[in-house]
A = this chain, B = another copy of it.
């Protein structure tokens, strides 16, 4: 008997028919002898409907009240799923965030979980209940309702799995696992049986939107075995999706490269001709941070005649604001020659734990892109990823070229047998 936490997203809970199917899937695991905690999201469309009502009344609604409103979506879902489970003659009991006591900080709409009281859940499990928990929500220490932000139900699932030291946390979604890259872009994209947490983190943050990044961090921190599966397979399907492991040894068939992430949400900004002296990075990025603009890639070139060029990327939505800060504040303060920006770029990243031990990956990547005349505008590397910024119009080409170059369409065993 295992203790399994399952999480079902909004699409999986999108209609009474879909909820019935979730109930049947839960039933299968119960009949296999497992204890189950099921974390659910709001029915798809519900959160947007609620936020729409709020915006109609106030274009700048108070975040505390938004959380009061938005958290009802999941509360409806837990009740409905419990009722559907009862219909299958299963014992089931629902819990809101405050009923579990999922304690968070008070950062409304993006709260972080501080602790989970698992006492009552464990008692209910031991009495033979399926426990159904509202994702995405908690309370702060004053009893205010908080939400974890979009996608936060994944985090709830992982956090509950951690609190209960569950054997596995299964995240059911509308894809059947983690792919080497987006199959819509590369039809050859292959589903991975396993992937390490570090790779998953890079893939998630770089744009493969399978799991919310915070939930993966959480899983890594508390060593929760995470599995991504589809809720659209047959209820009795034995397909086990993609397992995200926290130990490299578990990933037996590990390839050098796990996947290719891409992202066209960013914009590139270059501050040209700034004096190359200590503190210059801070005097450029300080005002940007003060304006609450997050910076992703940062590159500073070697200086020429005491002047250097400083480049970084920001989210495309914040491009204009960032350019304004730089022109109004940074340029006069630093004496920079000019500030130039480009919001028609894309970032393409190779991700693979194998990069740690295999040399030459980066140059192989650059060579493949060069052969297709894809110009590289920025490069940034970390231990397990290499990212390049290219003109937006080359993004799809770059992803396909690299997918082929690193033979990601083939299972990793073959990859290993290569010389």
Interface residues in A, total, Cβ within 8 A: 36
Chain B: CB-nearest residue to A88: B58
A72 CB–B CB distance under 8 Å: yes
Which chain A residues have a beta carbon within 8 Å of chain B's beta carbons?
16, 19-20, 50, 53-54, 56-58, 61-62, 64-66, 68-69, 71-72, 75-76, 78-80, 82-84, 86-87, 93-94, 96, 98-99, 143-145
Contact A83 B99 (CB under 8 A): no
Each complex incorporates copies of this chain amounting to 2
Chain B: CB-nearest residue to A49: B76
Within the assembled complex, what's the spacing in Å between the Cα atoms of A17 and B366?
59
Contact A57 B80 (CB under 8 A): yes
Task: Tell me if A's interface is mostly helix, strand, loop or mixed.
Answer: helix
Smallest CB separation, A79 vs chain B (Å): 4
A-B contact list, 19 entries, CB within 8 Å: A16-B56, A54-B79, A57-B80, A58-B83, A58-B87, A61-B86, A62-B83, A64-B94, A65-B78, A65-B80, A65-B86, A68-B96, A69-B75, A69-B80, A69-B83, A72-B75, A72-B76, A98-B143, A99-B145
Contacts of A96 in B (CB 8 A): 68, 145
Given contacts A19-B57, A65-B82, A72-B72, 15 further A-B contacts (CB under 8 A): A20-B57, A53-B76, A53-B80, A57-B84, A57-B87, A58-B84, A58-B87, A61-B86, A65-B78, A65-B86, A66-B79, A69-B76, A69-B80, A69-B83, A99-B143
Chain B: CB-nearest residue to A17: B56
Smallest CB separation, A66 vs chain B (Å): 7
A86: contacting residue among B62, B78, B80, CB under 8 A: B62
Smallest CB separation, A363 vs chain B (Å): 56
Smallest CB separation, A289 vs chain B (Å): 29
Contact A68 B57 (CB under 8 A): no
